[in-house]
Amino acid sequence: MQNRSERDTFAEMYATRLARLWAVERGLAFGRLDHVDEGRLYIGKLGLTDDEQERLLIDWRAPVAQPFYRATPAAPMGVTRRRHLQTKGRNVVGVDDDLLDLDSLSDDDRATLNGEAALLAALDERRTGRMRDIVATIQAEQDKVIRADLNGVLVVQGGPGTGKTVVALHRAAYLLYTHRERLERRGVLILGPNLTFLRYIEQVLPSLGETDVLLSTVGELFPGVTATARERAEVAAVKGDLRMADVLARAVRDRQRVPRKPIELRLGRYSLTIERAMLESARNKAVRARRPHNQARAVFVRSILNALARQAAKKLGRGLIDDDELADLREDLRTEPGVKSALNRLWPYLTPQGLLLGLYGSAERLGAAAGDLLSARERALLLRERGEWTESDVPLLDEAADLLGEIDEHVLRASAAQAEEELAAARQSEELQREAELAYAREVLELTGLSDVMEAERLAERQRGEGPYLTTAERAAADRTWAYGHVIVDEAQELSAMAWRAVMRRIPTRSMTIVGDIAQTGSAAGAPSWHAVMDPYVAGRWREASLTVNYRTPVELMAVAARVLSSIDPALEAPTSVREAGFEPWEAPLEALPELVKAEVGEGGKVAVVVPDALLSDLGARVAATVEGTVVVGAGGGDRGVSSAALDAPVAVMGVTDAKGLEFDSVIVAEPDLIAGQSPRGLSDLYVALTRATQRLGVVHSRPLAPALHGLRHVPLNGD
């Protein structure tokens, strides 16, 4: 057993190391620091040493690497030159130098100065359909966020193009490096807005050597459910409202019935009566137990069966009975079909799915649960037939699961003749066996000195041979009650109040990084402010950092978006763009869309057509008929295959929701007036659509343009 545990531990350690090395091979070494006193240090994605343990490469997250991101000519931090290395495969193809202290350079060093600004060179590269790491070009403003303290809640507010997402991903890599022992056991959860977005970012962390982080959407938080469909805005607003927590709590209580009239039970030779007082007493005991509904059922059932057993004893003329006789009578009654049926009606086992479908499918049940909490119109919006789970249903399923608790599988599988004492004995025996296995596992790990490397629970589980080894991310994804070490929420402004309740259940330590932009809130159930989101959970215990520089959107494009931002709120300020693209934004008639898309493809790079939800099918079909390889992303990002295809295709047609967080070389926005009017926060959606491009922006329309979009260069139809 000891040899086996040692073998498994070393195998896991080396497999993890190999996976990281293979993942970071592209661009492994990307920089060099020339110090006044310390010589040269090479900076890379991982730390490496030679056989004599001499440092060959410094991990970018190490404290000694900070000057690569923080040093400036005004504060050089002992650095004379910062060199950026551009590689292709294992070959260096370019060198860019940032000169920080000319006086400290030797004549030989002065003769080897090279290059242009590495940041601008990276920004001008064409998009690949996947987000790339920025480890070689992290800016000082971003580095402060990445290296911020692990504890507490950090809110990162930043406008479009400021690098919020990529900063959050690099922060995850930094925290895993700095607090690996703490975070590897509990894992890191990264929540994104949709499946397309997750496909877009999925290569960043592996490229930084981190291969065991769980990427998820809110629609995937409930194990066994992957909800990609979306509601109409008004329905999502109701489901996301905090009042739904009280509605669900009432719905559960309504299923714990206390009928006004007594319930008569005919049991062959005699009949028994379940009185109202008996039911109220049993329910009060169950409520005082402070257990979820399904666990509290055992208290309720036991109380009713005890009362019925004493009633049966009197009917049979036994008078006072001892505990053993009471247990026998109680078990006899438990197996009676009439008693079982009554108990199931009075306090049924419930699943989250069953509870929600019961509400959605019954105006009577919904009315009883909602009461004065929801208006008649809001209740009508919730009613529906059975159908596909939507993204806004998932937080409600999670809330219901918290109220209901797990159903005891032993009870469900127990045969009618199986006594309660036998079940308890079986559970006690199983628990003793597991405790013995766990104690042995702890002893093995202590003797081998591996107690800090592997958990005793994991070793004991392996020795039982209960299944294949699962990574932390895989185990966490399958466990609704998993508590993570750190949670990162991207596009956080889109989460509803009910979604935040689901997120907070997964991070009791409140160690979080919240990333978003209030000005881009498009969801009707989204955040009005960070205070509204954070104060109910961590009032006075959260801090905010700002990213103010726009690296994605050129000056020409941002000038257009800034006018829309002023329409949302004149007090809001757009981030400052660092570059010009040399392309003026244009507008053209909607009829020209297919040909204009074809022309943009000819310019090179990835092209996105962002359209109103109502026109997605029509405009998507028209573009796909003209431009080969076009992919149309449906509501919710479709399945994972469609999400990946959209990122790899030369042209993707999508709604604003699926475009959030993404970037393309060229973007054409169709019917901006309809986008602005399709929801109460439609102007925010339009702002998002106008800031997805890194090079070129066009607008096609048949309706008049809003004043904020006046002045765009006009592109006429052919022959006009």
CA 438, CA 450: separation in Å to the nearest integer? 15
- Band the pLDDT of 70: cuts 50, 70, 90: confident
Q: pLDDT at position 444, please?
A: 77
CA 216, CA 198: separation in Å to the nearest integer? 7
Which are the contacts of 670, defined by CB distance < 8 A and separation ≥ 6?
590, 593, 609, 610, 611, 612, 615, 619, 699, 700, 701
Q: Which tops the pLDDT comparison, 646 or 590?
A: 590
- Band the pLDDT of 636: cuts 50, 70, 90: very low
CB 664 within 8 A of CB 695: no
Average pLDDT of the chain?
A: 85
CB 523 within 8 A of CB 656: no
Closest CA to 669 of 650, 681, 656, 658: 656
CB 658 within 8 A of CB 196: yes
Q: pLDDT at position 86, please?
A: 82
* 410 pLDDT above the threshold of 90: no
Q: pLDDT at position 533, please?
A: 95
* 319 pLDDT above the threshold of 80: no
Q: pLDDT at position 482, please?
A: 93
Structure confidence by residue, pLDDT tens digits, 2-36: 778 788 888 888 887 787 777 777 778 888 998 87
Structure confidence by residue, pLDDT tens digits, 271-317: 889 999 999 999 999 999 999 999 999 999 999 998 888 888 887 77
- Band the pLDDT of 635: cuts 50, 70, 90: very low
Structure confidence by residue, pLDDT tens digits, 527-580: 999 999 999 999 999 999 999 999 889 999 999 999 999 999 898 889 999 888
* 354 pLDDT above the threshold of 90: yes
* 324 pLDDT above the threshold of 80: no
* 106 pLDDT above the threshold of 80: no
How do the residues of the chain divide into helix, strand and coil, expressed in percent and rounded to 5? 50, 15, 35
Closest CA to 176 of 133, 141, 218, 206: 206
Between 313-322, 459-468, 516-525, 675-684, the lowest mean confidence (pLDDT) is in 459-468
* 631 pLDDT above the threshold of 60: yes
Q: pLDDT at position 468, please?
A: 56
Structure confidence by residue, pLDDT tens digits, 246-262: 999 999 999 998 888 89
pTM above 0.85, yes or no: no
CB 391 within 8 A of CB 228: yes
pLDDT, average across residues 71-86: 82
In sequence order, what are the beta bridge partners of 75? none
Note the residue count of the chain: 720
- Band the pLDDT of 369: cuts 50, 70, 90: very high
